[in-house]
Amino acid sequence: MTGRAQSIPANDPLAHEPLMVTGPVQDLSTHRLPPNFRGRPAWFVQIWWLAQSLLFHTSPQAMYGWRRFLLKLFGAKIGRNVLLRPSVTVTYPWKLTIGDDSWIGDHVTLYTLGPIVIGRDAVVSQHSYLAAASHDYTRSSFDIFQKQITIEDEAWVAAHCFIGPGVTVGRGAVMGSCSVTFKDVPPMMVCMGNPLKVIRPRVVNDSPKQL
């Protein structure tokens, strides 16, 4: 370390002077939910959150059928043989669709303020966060909006990934661990990073291994 302050390049976003704003940038007292944003009455939402805390999260790991039943009871569309770990969190199950034989790993958050649609034979691994909603930070009222997330058939979202609203992860795509994306993931590609980058095609070789 030289002890001298380093200059910021002129093309660096941090080099720009902040805008002078006279009014509030973020006035949360003016925030309002859009009509029917939850999709169910507030009391129904509270009942689900209680059921999730008391009946879903506390269920033994092997009780996959019980957790599928609870989600369906509250409006989710869940296919055959779907495996959801007890630590999975679903905000609004009536906005969730999961196809046959898919796996949802430990501590995954399905933030279904907007619809989340997961295809068949898809995997969402541990600690991943799928956020189907966000806020408009260009408005002082911090308006909330929702956009559907789609995980297509046979895709794999590896551990600790973040997927933003409106994203489609294409069929057979792989998102490497700790990746972040706010853009669509192309099908049959292995992708990784923050921001997400295509690494290589996904090649499947099911021929018997030579001993």
For the chain, counts of helices (H) and of strands (E): 2, 19
Angstrom distance (rounded) from CA 56 to CA 193: 33
Query: Of the given ranges (14-18, 108-112, 171-175), which has the lowest mean pLDDT?
Result: 14-18
| Span 18-44, average pLDDT | 89
Helix, coil or strand: residue 151: strand
Q: What percent of the chain has pLDDT over 70?
A: 89
Integer-rounded Cα radius of gyration of the chain: 21
Tokens linked to 211: 């001993």
Dist CA 199 CA 186 (whole Å): 11
Helix or strand (DSSP H, E) at 63:
none
pLDDT given for residue 143 in this prediction: 94
Query: DSSP per residue over 158-187, as a string?
Result: -TT-EE-TT-EEPTT-EEPTT-EESSPBPT
With a CB cutoff of 8 Å and minimum separation 6, the contacts of 114 are 95, 132, 133, 146, 147, 148, 149, 165
Calpha distance 173→67 (Å, rounded):
27
Which residue has better confidence, 43 or 16? 43
Kind plus residue range of the DSSP H or E element containing 193:
none
User: What's phi and psi for 155, nearest 5 deg?
Assistant: -85, 155
* Cα–Cα distance for residue pair 132/31, rounded to 1 Å: 19
Yes or no: say if 88 and 102 are a contact pair by the CB < 8 Å rule.
Answer: no
CB atoms within 10 A of CB 172: 20
Q: What pLDDT, on the 0 to 100 scale, is given for residue 40?
A: 95
- Provide the pLDDT for residue 5: 46
Domains of the chain with CATH codes: 39-201 (2.160.10.10)
Cβ(71)–Cβ(52) under 8 Å? no
Identify the pLDDT of residue 176: 98
Q: 208 or 179, which is more confident?
A: 179
